[in-house]
Amino acid sequence: MKAEGLSINMEPAPPPEYGKIKVGDLQLESGIVLPDIELAFERAGKSGGPVILVCHALTGNQFTVGTAKQPGWWHGLIGPEKYIDTNQFEVITFNVLGGCSGSTGPTSINPVTKKPYQTDFPKLTIRDIVHSQVLALRKLGINEIKAAIGGSLGGMQILELAITYPDFAKVIIPIAVTPYLSDYGIAFNAIGRNAIKRDPAWKGGFYSEEDRIAGLEIARMIGMVTYRTGKLFNKRFNRELKDGETFQVESYLNYQGQKLSDRFDANSYLYLLEAMDSHDIGRGRQGWKKALGHITAKTLLLGYTGDLLYPPEDVKEIAEALMKAGKEADYVEVKTDFGHDGFLAEFPKWGGILQAAL
């Protein structure tokens, strides 16, 4: 997996750096000014090397590369002598605005009330999230980057970045994302939202740390069904029973729900779902095809077979529209049983495609 042209004597990259960037006040699309925001980040790879911005998905975080003891969610793709080689590139990931892994969000202290914002936190859009990250990069002294890569919610950010800041990234790789979230996708998000909001423990969003939000666990279970394919579920669980009573697939979904509930904030989940629902690169830009005209970066789009939420044919349509507009664009469909979650698995199938694009 070693990137071609690299010297074997190249000094290895240092361990990832973690911290927070104080961005300052941010005016949101709604017109509300969010004061004193900060973004938590991971900065991995060669200091001073070409910068690659990675944007994470809904329940992701800034721990993209991670460490040997705690590998990040893309550690199989990014690292020393991997497909995105941190001996060559500097890779930066921010926890999104509205997240709950150190960036300003519903769990942060409201400077006015001196209590956590919770549902007093203002509504966010993908564009707000992108603006905050560009400002944070500029605080780091970075005014242009080699590439921007992300899947799902991350892919939404990549498209918005390339349209809003057309000269910022030379290459963009939006993965498993469409120009706008479909009604089908919004429908599943609505079910997840209802599961959380109808849970009495949610308390209108003003719950305590001790409250167990079972609705969040159910929302995660719903999400997991849409992230994978029926073929993968059938192959993996094969109607097997656990302890002779519960189906293995049911046990798996319960585990995934509890696991997310232990590490993720229910309000952050709701705010980010709403930001995803509002995703439409054509909003206020005379439609999504007109919006693509602002993109100047070389573009590679990846779609995954069986993706229920972001069908590969819809991802391909973006590439076709870009090429029709005279832009440099390409599309690759990755054949997988993982469906939407394909961008978090089977890296040997598609990691080399990213490597070549960079």
202 with 215: CB under 8 angstroms? yes
Residue 319 has pLDDT above 60, yes or no: yes
Integer angstrom CA distances of residue 340 from 172, 232, 252, 295, 345: 19, 12, 18, 25, 10
Looking at the chain, the whole-number percentage of residues with pLDDT higher than 90 is 94
CA distance 300 to 331: 6
Query: Looking at residue 6, what is its pLDDT?
Result: 43
Tell me the average pLDDT across 83-110: 98
In this prediction, residue 38 has a pLDDT band, given cuts at 50, 70 and 90, of very high
102 with 264: CB under 8 angstroms? no
Strand partners, 332: 302
Query: Looking at residue 5, what is its pLDDT?
Result: 42
Q: What is the pLDDT of residues 226-238, one digit of tens each?
A: 999 999 999 999 9
Q: What is the pLDDT of residues 267-295, one digit of tens each?
A: 999 999 999 999 999 999 999 999 999 99
- Residue positions annotated with a catalytic role: 152, 307, 340
157 with 145: CB under 8 angstroms? no
Residue 127 has pLDDT above 80, yes or no: yes
Cα 50 to chain centroid, rounded:
21
* Strand 33-45, strand 90-94: pairing: antiparallel
Residue 20 has pLDDT above 80, yes or no: yes
Residue 126 has pLDDT above 80, yes or no: yes
In this prediction, residue 50 has a pLDDT band, given cuts at 50, 70 and 90, of very high
Query: Looking at residue 333, what is its pLDDT?
Result: 98
